[in-house]
Amino acid sequence: MAAKDVAMRKRAQIAKANRTMFIWVAIISVVVGFALVGSIFLAQKLFFNEKVLAEKDKTIATLKTDNNNVSALEAQVRVLDTNQALIDAKAKPTDQALQVILDALPSDANSLALGASLQNKLLSGIDGLTLVSLQVDPVVGVETSATDPTVQNVAPTATTGDQNQITFRFSVKGSDASLKEALTRLERSIRAIDILSLKIESQGSARLMTVEARAFYEPARTVTLKDKVIKP
């Protein structure tokens, strides 16, 4: 009977020890799990903070570079403002010399203004010269829609990068001297005009000159500060 009691007590102690061990294993597992999750969270937080700091460093570097370039840019602008060639080309005596650059390369594709300049200034007032025809193509996608039926026959106009351009063509009739004066005016124009093709035909004592050319414009650049969202 005594041996049986001893055996029962041993089994009870073993069962108690097993329960105790199971409880400790469960507690340790929970602690390890929490520690592992916490470690992963801290690692993600650390990585995210590093990304934010890296973007801040890039922004600071860009601002420092821009600030360092301001003085050099101001000096170049002051030099241009004293350029005699620009001063001589001013449209109005009250204009600044830099206005010549803005007039030579407008910021918008204003084909109507170009046509008016050709008709009223460059090709007007030349003795013996008659303007027969003038056509300035609107910039497709900027001044007109690409699906506009009124511009289906307009030649494609480049509008990308440094190739922003307005194409036009005109025909003038006159003497050799008047045609030469018209070409000279195009060459001396404040706007950059590139002649693509030129054809001269004889019509009795006069000449008919047909010119296809293009002028350029440069869209204005806007400098803005933006907020950038960094995702974890």
Query: What DSSP string runs through 31-63?
Result: HHHHHHHHHHHHHHHHHHHHHHHHHHHHHHHHH
Residue 217 burial (CB count, 10 A): 22
pLDDT lower than 50: segments of the chain: 150-162
Of 111, 120, 86, 223, give the one whose Cα is nearest residue 169.
111
pLDDT of residue 6: 66
pLDDT at 151: 46
**What is the reported pLDDT for 129?**
93
In three-state secondary structure terms, 66 is: helix
- Taking the C-alpha atoms of residue 194 and residue 165, their distance in angstroms, rounded to an integer, is 10
Tens digit of each residue's pLDDT (9 = 90 or more) over 24-59: 888 888 888 888 888 888 888 888 888 888 888 888
Query: How far apart (Å, rounded) are the C-alpha atoms in residues 111 and 150?
Result: 15
Domain boundaries, the chain: 1-81, 106-216
What's the pLDDT score for residue 105?
82
pLDDT score of 147: 52
Please report the pLDDT score of residue 137 as a whole number.
93
Per-residue tokens: 31: 């602690």
The 193-203 sheet, strands edge to edge: 130-136, 165-174, 206-216, 193-203
CATH class entry, domain 106-216: alpha beta
Closest CA to 197 of 163, 160, 155, 162: 155
Q: What was the pLDDT predicted at 182?
A: 94
The residue with tokens 């027969």 is: 132
- pLDDT for the residue 188: 85
